Amino acid sequence: MKVFISVDIEGITGVTDWSETELGNHDYKQFAEQMTKETVAACEGAIAMGAKEIFIKDAHDSARNIDITKLPRCAKLSRGWTSSPDSMVAGLDETFDAAIFIGYHSAAGTDGSPLAHTMNSGNNYMMVNGEKASEFTINSYLAANYGVPVVFLSGDKALCDTAKKFNKGIETVAVKEGSAGATISINPDYACDLIKEGVKNGLKHINECKIAIPEKFEVEINYKEHKNARRASFFPGVTQTGSHTIKYTANNVKDFSVTRMFIL
């Protein structure tokens, strides 16, 4: 079995403030260590289910957060960014059996996490086919385009609840719950135990986690600064619909993700 793992930090247990997510800050180290531990737990769950190859994408900010020395021998780690529209799932292709998302967070424009955002902090929300889109949403479509089901997700409770409606077969572990500017998080070691078991359960039901790809992607992005909406409007196929808002339509996942890469 070959498994892909994409790892973010805002949905790691305990993480509450932006300062805890930024490489070099004094309060970053302990949460980068927990990010590594939760990644290792996911690997252990996958190995227990027969995974022989594991590809891990460090998918947060600098993409240089996970401690490679703690990873199992069968794992490869992608650090840094490939400048690909696949972004947080760069490296994924049709050869993988399943995908796992660790440390994910609620979408921009929602209240499930004090760190809720989609791709960056420059937008108020991104809508895809009338629904606020999270990084989980975007990356699930990218995975589906390669024929790879997302079988497990860990992160904040609001995202996990939303994910179960989007992908009815997915296994989730909510390691925290957002409350305005606060989080209520579970014990770090307990989080790792739950992730390991959750991954094992998810990999038992790979075929149940397949999702349908929409025939069309109707996308709307509302930017925090109006100048960014104007700039995005010059990209082919993008129309400015308001002072801070643009829209575009894509007929496939590739066009959806390529346009997003250049304007968000």
The annotated binding site for Zn(2+) is made up of 8, 10, 60, 105, 135
User: Hey, how many other C-beta atoms are within 10 angstroms of the C-beta on 110?
Assistant: 19
The amino acid occupying position 10 is E
Q: Decide: residue 248, CB within 10 A, 0-12 exposed, 13-18 middle, 19+ buried.
A: buried
Contact predicate 80/134, CB 8 Å:
no
Q: Which residue in the list 26, 117, 205, 226 is annotated as catalytic? A: 117
Q: Is 117 a catalytic residue?
A: yes
User: Hey, how many other C-beta atoms are within 10 angstroms of the C-beta on 29?
Assistant: 12
Q: Which residues belong to the annotated binding site?
A: 8, 10, 60, 105, 135
Q: Where in the sequence numbering do the catalytic residues fall?
A: 117
